[in-house]
């Protein structure tokens, strides 16, 4: 493939491939968390079934990270969603919408490798694709609000006497 100025540089192609891999990882995590909503198997067991044919280690790593964080922090995620969008009780959301919010929030809060704004943009697009425009707007609002609040909390702690500088996001 080439652009208007000739062949794309190898660095650009590598970056595009990384973006595609991360999108695939998000989709696999979403599919696993969504399927687990039906109660037949756990999200991690479903994910491992999906990954049996996946050859890209970056896809597998991101998908495992998101699913593990959803499983480890589900109650906290639901509480954060309830505060950010009280008019949309988590238990009353469609299964896909719950899965989208939980996975997206996990990446925003617990994935240090992904800037929050990038994670939000990616999950908003997945919400539009898999649920529709109303969910896209809800996803953007909830993730944006929680990301801003989390960043403000980190800034307050860092500026407090004796406070330490927190990383962009924690992994635990």
* Share above pLDDT 90 across residues of the chain, in percent, rounded to a whole number: 66
> Residues with Cβ < 8 Å from 31, sequence gap 6 or more?
46, 50
How many domains, the chain? 1
Q: What is the CATH number of the domain that holds 19?
A: 1.10.940.10
> Domain range for residue 77?
10-159
- 151 falls within a domain: yes
CB atoms near residue 41 (< 10 Å): 14
- 25 falls within a domain: yes
- 68 falls within a domain: yes
Query: Can you give the pTM of this predicted structure?
Result: 0.81
List, as one string, the DSSP characters of 99-135. HHHHHHHHHHHH-TTS-HHHHHHHHHHHHHHHT-HHH
- 71 falls within a domain: yes
- 1 falls within a domain: no
- 105 falls within a domain: yes
pLDDT in tens, 89-142: 999 999 999 999 999 999 999 988 889 999 999 999 999 999 999 999 999 999
């Amino acid at each position: 493939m080439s652009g208007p100025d000739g062949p794309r540089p190898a660095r650009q192609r590598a970056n595009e491939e990384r973006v595609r891999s991360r999108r695939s990882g998000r989709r696999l995590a979403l599919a696993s968390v969504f399927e687990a909503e039906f109660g037949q198997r756990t999200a991690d067991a479903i994910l491992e079934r999906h990954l049996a044919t996946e050859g890209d280690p970056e896809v597998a790593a991101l998908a495992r990270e998101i699913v593990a964080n959803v499983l480890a922090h589900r109650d906290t995620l639901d509480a954060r969603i309830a505060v950010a969008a009280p008019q949309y009780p988590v238990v009353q959301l469609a299964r896909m919408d719950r899965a989208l919010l939980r996975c997206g929030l996990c990446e925003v809060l617990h994935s240090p490798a992904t800037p929050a704004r990038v994670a939000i943009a990616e999950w908003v697009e997945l919400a539009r694709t898999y649920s529709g425009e109303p969910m896209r707007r809800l996803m953007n609002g909830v993730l944006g609000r929680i990301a801003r609040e989390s960043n403000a909390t980190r800034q307050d702690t860092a500026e407090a006497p004796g406070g330490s500088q927190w990383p962009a996001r924690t992994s635990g």
